[in-house]
C-alpha cells in the first residue's frame, strides 16, 4: 500500500493500493460507501477560507465545540461559514461532498440529531449544540459497514460515487424515522438527492434491501 494525495481535496491523504489493476468495481464501490472518497475535479475552498483571522469577529465567538460522529471537536468557525465548509476543510471530513452549494442536489447531506440536512445550507454556528453525523461516522469501530452502506454495495448503487454519501445519509435518516417504508415512501424520502449518473433504482433497491434486512 502507498499513500497518495486525493484529487478531491488538496492535502487530504487517501490510501490506495500500489497495483491499481487489481481493483475491482466492487472494491471501488466499497471505498466510496465507507468514506465518501470519490473522483472530483473541483476545489471549492478558496485561499481566503484558510487565512488565519482574529479569534473573534463582530462579537461572535468563533472557537466552537462541535459534536461530530460522537467526538467533540474544537474548531475555529467564521460567522457565516456553512457546515459543509467546516466539515470538509476544517475537520477533514471530505466524505461530505459539495455539488451545487445551494440546497439543490443533496450531495452535502449529513444528519443533525438523526435528521438529514443539507450541510451547504446550514450555518455551523447554528448546530453547536447538536449531534452531527457524517458518512465517516456510520461504520462500526470494527469496520463493519452500516446496513445501508452494505445494501448499497450489494445493489451496486454508486456509478461515479459523487452523490453516494448524501444518498447514504438520507437513507439512514429515513430508516431511523421509518424502518419499514414502502417503495414509494422511500422514493419520496430520497427525492432530495440527485444523481447525475441516474442510478436511482439501484439506490432505491438498496434502501429497500436495508429495510428488509434490519
Least distance to ligand FES from the beta carbon of 56, Å? Answer: 28
93 touches ligand FES (CB under 6 A): no
Q: Give CA–CA dist 23/89, Å, rounded.
A: 29
104 touches ligand FES (CB under 6 A): yes
On whether the CB atoms of residues 136 and 163 are closer than 8 A, the answer is: no
Segment 113-152, which members bind ligand FES (CB under 6 A)?
118, 120
Segment 183-202, which members bind ligand FES (CB under 6 A)?
195-197, 199
User: Nearest Cα to 164, choosing from 126, 122, 194, 125?
Assistant: 194
Q: Give CA–CA dist 187/210, Å, rounded.
A: 14
Binding mask 51-80 for ligand FES (x = CB under 6 A): ------------------------------
156 touches ligand FES (CB under 6 A): no
Grid coordinates belonging to 195: 444523481
160 touches ligand FES (CB under 6 A): yes
- What phi and psi, each to the nearest 5 degrees, are found at residue 180? -130, 65
User: Nearest Cα to 45, choosing from 9, 95, 97, 94?
Assistant: 9
In the complex, the residues that contact ligand FES under the rule CB under 6 A are 98-101, 103-108, 118, 120, 158-163, 195-197, 199
Amino acid at each position: 500500500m502507498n499513500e497518495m494525495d486525493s484529487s478531491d481535496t488538496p492535502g487530504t491523504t487517501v490510501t490506495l493500493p500500489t497495483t491499481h489493476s487489481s481493483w475491482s468495481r466492487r472494491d471501488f464501490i466499497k471505498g466510496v460507501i465507507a468514506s465518501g472518497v470519490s473522483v472530483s475535479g473541483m476545489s471549492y475552498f478558496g485561499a481566503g477560507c484558510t487565512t488565519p483571522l482574529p479569534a473573534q469577529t463582530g462579537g461572535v465567538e468563533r472557537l466552537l465545540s462541535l459534536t461530530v460522529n460522537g467526538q467533540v471537536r474544537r474548531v475555529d468557525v467564521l460567522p457565516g461559514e456553512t457546515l459543509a465548509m467546516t466539515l470538509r476543510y476544517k475537520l477533514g471530513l471530505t466524505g461530505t461532498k459539495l455539488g451545487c452549494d445551494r440546497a439543490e442536489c443533496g450531495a452535502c447531506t449529513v444528519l443533525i440529531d438523526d435528521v438529514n440536512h443539507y450541510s451547504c445550507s446550514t450555518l455551523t454556528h447554528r448546530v453547536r449544540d447538536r449531534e452531527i453525523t457524517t458518512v465517516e461516522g456510520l461504520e462500526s469501530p470494527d469496520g463493519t459497514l452500516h446496513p445501508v452502506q452494505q445494501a448499497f454495495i450489494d445493489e451496486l448503487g454508486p456509478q461515479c460515487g459523487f452523490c453516494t454519501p448524501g444518498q447514504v445519509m438520507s437513507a439512514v435518516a429515513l430508516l431511523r424515522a421509518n424502518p419499514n417504508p414502502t417503495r414509494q415512501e422511500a422514493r419520496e424520502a430520497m427525492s432530495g438527492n440527485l444523481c447525475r449518473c441516474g442510478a436511482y433504482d439501484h439506490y432505491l433497491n438498496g434502501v429497500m434491501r436495508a429495510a428488509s434486512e434490519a
